Amino acid sequence: MSETLIVAGWIVNGAADRHKAEILRDAALYQRDGVIVEIGPRDAMEQKYRHALRLGSPDTVLMPGFVNSHHHVGLTPVQLGSPDYALELWFAGRMGAREIDLYLDTLYSAFEMIASGITTVQHIHGWRPGPLDAVHRAASRVLDAYRDLGMRASYSFAVRDQNLLVYEADDDFADRLPPDIGEKLRAHLRRFRIPLSDYLQLFDTLTRENEGHALTAIQLAPANLHWCSDDTLLALKEKSDAHGVPMHMHLVETAYQKEYARRRSGKTAVGHLADLGLLGPSLTLGHGVWLTEADIETIAHTGTCICHNCSSNLRLRSGVAPLNAFARHGVTVGMGLDEAGINEDRDMLQEMRLALNVHRTPGMDDDVPTCPQILRMASEDGARTTPFGARIGRLEEGRLADLVLMNWKTATWPYQDDDVPMLDALMMRAKTNAVDAVMIGGEVVYRDGRFTRVDRDAVLEDIARALSKPRTEDEIARRELGRAVFPHVKAFYDGYLTGERVAPPEPFYAPSSRV
């Protein structure tokens, strides 16, 4: 039996509503075998559980572990050579990315997440070449990394069965390219074509192999409307219902995706998903930047969730999601860091501040984000987008002991006036150096800047050593193909929103290739 008593000057159970957090002063939390057993006054709890291992201090602010509801990779696209293009250009810009062992890659971003208080991540994997056994090996490396580090993770492999590069059939796009480029692109994309039956088999295999693993869960991810045919969407919905697992799907991240949905169905993307019967509490829509008011009403009515990826939306020029409208309609909204946050890392504390401030529209009405609201997005509502649901996201008896010990003195030094509510001051001022410890499932996995299970410095050395080697022939070929295709992708979208066909471009290198 493992047991811990955590004493704190403040215990933040969670958000009561948009304007109030549930906070206990001078309290303590007792966990046994990874489950919260009791929360109560500090003095009484110290007497009752005097033999338990103690953590915390009067300077501790004990909070629910944060949930990163939308995550993809470890080393960032910028690190691997791709600047922040507009999203639709980004895929061509990332063709030449360096290969890195997925175990190391996953640990890299997991270190950053845990160090900022994230205890659970929604890992949406994808863009791995087949066949099925290769994709299975890749998925297993990712899952092994989270399990070894002690981090809670929901894993899904994003399903794509069409339109892999632009918003039309791959062969139609390749036919308009110069013949040498078109043939190379077809060969490249064929590597990523995986039959739907293999996707479903991968889910079944990973689900079976995950039995007995408390930290990890397997769910489903139709990648996006333009990437999935209706038959594929319906098959994934059937699998989701049969296994009782949620789905996570990118949707209308950009204006180009909004236009694609109109051309495909004559409706909005949400309207089309509603016709197919996909909406509901088991579906989370990632981004949702270009949702209409009617879409948001439908999402709220059906209980569908949204994941807000504030940094990504800004970095990739996708737009600013209507977060205030989401809140007005009562939509469940989680928070995701996507590829990387605004500071090119996975700092949830920074992401919470960004979301808090980006949506502060002009005026004086009470319709802008509040600190309790942002906390709920990053914890309880984020949890609802994962298979772990109500077992995480709040500090309550019976929930899993996933929590963060923040140091009030470190966060607010040298002074903080108490006229500002504690949670507001903490969320607006705390940096990662204020994270004293992180507990996941009752186990301390991070304390005083060090990870208890994995040597971070050794992992970073392994990554540096691997990427110090010259590019492989395959990496060079993919980089050259990406550079050749880039201007043609740009031309495809130049007239996309207006319906005008733009002439093929003169050859030129993408900005990432310029010296």
CATH number of 415's domain: 2.30.40.10
Whichever domain contains 368, its CATH number is 3.20.20.140
Residue 425 structure tokens? 């001051």
Q: Are residues 262 and 366 in the same domain?
A: yes
Distances in Å between the Cα of 134 and the Cα atoms of 15, 128, 198, 214 are 43, 8, 11, 25
Q: Are 28 and 386 in contact (CB under 8 A)?
A: no
Q: How many CB atoms lie within 10 A of CB 432?
A: 15
Q: Are residues 148 and 254 in the same domain?
A: yes
Q: Are residues 90 and 181 in the same domain?
A: yes
Give per-residue burial for 26-57: e unless 16+ CB within 10 Å, then b: ebbbbbbebebeebbebeebeeebeebeebbe
Q: Which of 288, 292, 351, 286 is nearest to 320 (CA)?
A: 288
Q: Are residues 16 and 158 in the same domain?
A: no
Residue 484 lies in a domain: no
pLDDT of residue 501: 59
Q: Are residues 189 and 43 in the same domain?
A: no
Residue 229 lies in a domain: yes
Sheet holding 443-447, edge to edge: 35-41, 20-32, 3-17, 53-64, 403-407, 435-440, 443-447, 450-451
pLDDT of residue 500: 66
Residue 507 lies in a domain: no
Domain boundary among 392, 412, 430: 392
Containing 450, the helix (H) or strand (E) segment is: strand 450-451
Q: Cβ neighbours of residue 141 under 8 Å, at least 6 residues apart?
A: 101, 102, 103, 106
pLDDT of residue 1: 77
Q: Cβ neighbours of residue 140 under 8 Å, at least 6 residues apart?
A: 206, 209
Residue 422 lies in a domain: yes
Residue 405 structure tokens? 């010990």
Q: Are residues 17 and 116 in the same domain?
A: no
- Strand 152-159 to strand 221-222: parallel, antiparallel, or no bridges (unpaired)? parallel
Q: Cβ neighbours of residue 149 under 8 Å, at least 6 residues apart?
A: 107, 110, 111, 114, 445, 451, 453, 454
Q: Which of 341, 439, 371 is nearest to 112 (CA)?
A: 341
Domain boundary among 368, 392, 416: 392
pLDDT of residue 507: 42
Q: Are residues 177 and 135 in the same domain?
A: yes
What region does 254 belong to: left with phi over 0, alpha with psi -120 to 50, or beta? beta
Each residue of 77-116: pLDDT tens digit?
A: 999 999 999 999 999 999 999 999 999 999 999 999 999 9
Q: Are residues 85 and 188 in the same domain?
A: yes
Domain that holds residue 59: 3-64+399-451
369/374 Cα distance (integer angstroms): 7
Q: Are residues 356 and 231 in the same domain?
A: yes
Distances in Å between the Cα of 230 and the Cα atoms of 82, 166, 496 are 32, 18, 22
Domain boundary among 436, 451, 466: 451
Q: Is 319 exposed, middle or buried (0-12, 13-18, 19+ CB in 10 A)?
A: middle
Q: Are residues 388 and 403 in the same domain?
A: no
Distances in Å between the Cα of 240 and the Cα atoms of 366, 400, 486 are 38, 24, 36
Residue 483 lies in a domain: no
35/397 Cα distance (integer angstroms): 8
Residue 456 lies in a domain: no
Overall number of domains in the chain: 2
Residue 457 lies in a domain: no
Q: Are 403 and 29 in contact (CB under 8 A)?
A: yes
Q: How many CB atoms lie within 10 A of CB 275?
A: 12
pLDDT of residue 477: 97
Q: Are residues 137 and 194 in the same domain?
A: yes
Question: How would DSSP label each residue in 11-29?
Answer: EEEEEEETTEEEEEEEEEE
Task: Give average pLDDT by consecutive 10-residue segment, the chain, 515 residues.
Answer: 95 97 98 98 97 97 98 97 95 94 98 98 96 98 98 98 97 96 97 97 98 98 98 98 98 98 97 98 98 98 98 97 98 97 97 98 95 98 97 98 98 98 98 98 98 98 97 97 97 87 47 34
Q: Are residues 318 and 410 in the same domain?
A: no
Residue 26 lies in a domain: yes
